[in-house]
């Protein structure tokens, strides 16, 4: 069915025009009208890869496969962007047994796997390795564990190596799972979530291999401690009656002459680094620099437009809102024309141009909103700081004559 918004809509175990009434009736029948009443999911496709009808057909098939056996689902296909996509509204109460929809962390992966399988059946492309906008927290933890395993051969040194990189390793025998978390806070992550290669047994195997090759002092060899040794003043007549070679070894090697000779050959063979590596606490640095790009973008936005006051930024943002409304209306009109059978092909290019303009204006509007909030927070902080600096009970000034009399 094609509704008033020019969207393809299908109801599974519910009527399209009365979907809410049908879902609410199931909730009232089982006495579960509180809390979450519905859930939302979506599915998108590559640009110009499917037709609206095919997109809707796949969405309905996916909804029947994932939820159709127990829940009511409303499937709507949106065609207002270059990428066709489906929206799913799922009733939180099952029409079969009245049980609530169980929400788990693994549902996203299960839903994505079902969608990919269905798209492959239709011969469509799928995202094999989705990339995030920034490095994942789990990926940084894996890198830290790999680096610690390269530097340590014992469990104690492994903990030290992770702490050196800004992480705390928890392997309490009274707890079921070993964890890792950043030193500056954040939730602890269980090792099995990082993969089989990073569980406690795999780490023990890697440390055991290092121990067989390098012994128990592998970490000290790669990261020798920097200690200050006070200068020794030798007493008089210390070397009386000793040969030149014996005096040479005592002066340059001291009591631990074999250990110093061992370190000398380690440096010559390249086992020990010539310079100690700088200690970088990656989680703390990321926390410090988080949002720096946003602050710089807001500063450049205010500087380039030369706003004289905060109200000028507010007025500029109102103008952006009006432009966005105008462009959105134009794009909606083009989308309506594209649904006609005799629609010219250049409409798709016009829609793409409008979509790019809308995206740029929305990005600029978001920067303007952030600049307004940051200026307001700065002003409020300065006001509180001035109030704290002012004395609460100022002393009355005494006249100079009274001071002279005293």
DSSP notation for 334-370: HHHHHTSTT--THHHHHHHHHHHHHHHHHHHHHHHHH
Identify the DSSP state of 215: -
Give the contacts of 32 (CB within 8 A, at least 6 positions apart): 92, 93, 98, 100
pLDDT tens track, the chain, 406 positions: 444 444 689 999 999 999 999 999 999 999 998 888 999 999 998 877 888 888 999 999 999 999 999 999 999 998 877 788 999 999 999 999 999 998 887 888 889 889 999 988 888 888 776 555 445 688 888 999 999 999 899 989 999 899 888 898 988 888 888 999 888 667 888 888 888 888 888 999 999 988 888 888 888 877 776 544 444 544 444 545 555 555 555 555 554 566 667 777 777 777 666 665 555 556 666 666 767 888 888 999 999 999 999 999 999 999 999 999 999 889 888 888 887 777 788 888 888 899 899 999 999 999 999 999 989 988 888 887 787 776 555 555 555 555 555 5
Would you say 224 and 276 are in contact if contact means Cβ atoms under 8 Å apart? yes
Give the contacts of 300 (CB within 8 A, at least 6 positions apart): none
Residues 42-53 as b or e (16 or more Cβ within 10 Å = b): ebebeeeebebe
Within a 10 A sphere around the Cβ of 76, how many other Cβ atoms?
21
CA–CA separation, 290 and 182 (whole Å)? 15
Full strand arrangement of the beta sheet holding 189-190? 167-170, 179-182, 189-190
Residue count (the chain): 406
Would you say 203 and 149 are in contact if contact means Cβ atoms under 8 Å apart? yes
CA–CA separation, 144 and 150 (whole Å)? 10
Please tell me the predicted confidence (pLDDT) of residue 50: 85
CA–CA separation, 368 and 314 (whole Å)? 8
pTM of the model: 0.40
H or E segment at 90? strand 85-91
């Amino acid at each position: 069915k094609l509704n008033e918004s020019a969207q393809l809509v299908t109801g599974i175990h519910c009527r399209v025009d009365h979907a809410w009434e049908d879902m609410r009736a199931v909730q009232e029948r089982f006495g579960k009208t509180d809390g979450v009443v519905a859930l939302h999911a979506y599915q998108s496709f590559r640009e110009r890869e499917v037709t609206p009808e095919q997109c809707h057909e796949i969405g309905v098939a996916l909804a029947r496969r994932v939820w159709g056996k127990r829940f009511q689902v409303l499937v709507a296909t949106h065609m207002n962007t270059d990428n066709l996509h489906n929206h799913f509204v799922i009733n939180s109460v099952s029409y079969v047994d009245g049980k609530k929809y169980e929400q788990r962390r693994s549902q996203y992966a299960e839903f994505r796997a079902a969608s990919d399988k269905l798209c492959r059946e239709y011969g469509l492309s799928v995202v094999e390795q989705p990339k995030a906008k920034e490095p994942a927290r789990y990926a940084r933890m894996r890198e830290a564990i790999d680096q610690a395993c390269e530097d340590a051969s014992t469990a104690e040194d492994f903990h030290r190596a992770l702490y050196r990189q800004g992480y705390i390793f928890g392997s309490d025998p009274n707890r079921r799972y070993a964890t890792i978390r950043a030193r500056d806070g954040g939730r602890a992550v269980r090792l099995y979530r990082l993969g089989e290669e990073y569980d406690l047994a795999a780490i023990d195997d890697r440390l055991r291999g290092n121990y067989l090759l390098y012994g128990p002092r592998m970490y000290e060899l790669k990261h020798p401690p920097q200690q200050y040794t006070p200068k020794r003043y030798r007493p008089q007549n210390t070397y009386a009656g000793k040969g030149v070679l014996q005096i040479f070894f005592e002066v340059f090697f001291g009591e631990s002459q074999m250990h110093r000779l061992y370190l000398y050959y380690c440096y010559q063979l390249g086992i020990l680094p010539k310079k100690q590596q700088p200690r970088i606490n990656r989680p703390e640095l990321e926390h410090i620099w988080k949002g720096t790009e946003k602050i710089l973008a807001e500063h450049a936005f205010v500087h380039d437009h030369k706003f004289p006051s905060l109200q000028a930024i507010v007025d500029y943002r109102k103008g952006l809102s009006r432009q966005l409304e105008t462009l959105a209306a134009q794009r909606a009109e083009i989308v309506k024309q594209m649904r006609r059978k005799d629609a010219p092909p250049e409409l798709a290019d016009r829609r793409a141009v409008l979509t790019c303009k809308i995206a740029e204006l929305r990005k600029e509007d978001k920067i303007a909103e952030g600049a307004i909030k940051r200026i307001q927070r700065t002003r409020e902080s300065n006001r509180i700081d001035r109030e704290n600096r002012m004395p609460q009970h100022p002393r009355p000034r005494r006249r100079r004559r009274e001071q002279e009399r005293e």
